Amino acid sequence: MNAHYYFGEPPKWSKDVKFILVDVDKEKIELRKPRLGIVGDVTKKSKENVSKIEAQLANDVVPFTFMTLMRIIRDVILQMGSPAPVIVSEGLNTMDVGRTVLVQTEPRTWLDAGTWGKIGVGLGYYIAVAIASPERLVVVVEGDFGFGFNAMEFEVSCPLFLNVF
């Protein structure tokens, strides 16, 4: 809430706008007097979140939880080394969690349904990547809806014997 945002004041902002300000510095919140002020340390909170997620990933149960399965896929991908596989992902939870958990070790190795979540691109992406980069394995991680959206593309790709998992 600094000069870039005109300090949240009229005439740039309507006087009726209600601001929620989150800042590591209590004094800044007191200075700006937002409708709601939250003092929070993002670094501390993100470390807490990481340890919560790690505990979920480490949970070895059968049948698998969603997070256990993600950890298994993550570890296999990491073990492959270089050239790292290209990960293609789509779905809702699958894509969101995948973005956090499926660690990439090389640039330009992630393709997903993007900002607007346009499901249906996954298998097309996989065929394109497998043809363009035959030296890399393509790992497709999709929700069942995402896969069902264009599952027939998988049959299309079979005669091409592409490098996919």
Ligand X SMILES: Cc1ncc(C[n+]2csc(CCOP(=O)(O)OP(=O)(O)O)c2C)c(N)n1
> Could you say which residues in the range 104-123 bind ligand X, by CB under 6 A?
117-120
Ramachandran assignment for 40, one of left (phi > 0), alpha (psi -120 to 50 degrees), beta (any other)? beta
Nearer to ligand X, 65 or 133 (CB): 65
Nearer to ligand X, 119 or 138 (CB): 119
Nearer to ligand X, 29 or 88 (CB): 88
β-pairing verdict for 86-90 and 138-142? parallel
- Taking CB under 6 A as the criterion, the residue among 89, 94, 150, 157 binding ligand X is 94
**Residues near ligand X (CB under 6 A), total:** 12
Q: Which stretch binds ligand X (CB under 6 A): 47-55, 68-76, 125-133, 142-150?
A: 142-150
**CB-count burial class (<10 Å; 0-12, 13-18, 19+) for 69:** middle
Q: Which stretch binds ligand X (CB under 6 A): 4-12, 35-43, 141-149, 154-162?
A: 141-149
CB of 110 to ligand X, least distance (A): 16
Any contact of residue 64 with ligand X (CB under 6 A)?
Answer: no
Polymer length of the chain: 165
Please name the residues in contact with 87: beta carbons below 8 A apart, sequence gap of 6 or more.
Answer: 77, 98, 102, 104, 109, 110, 111, 138, 139, 140, 141
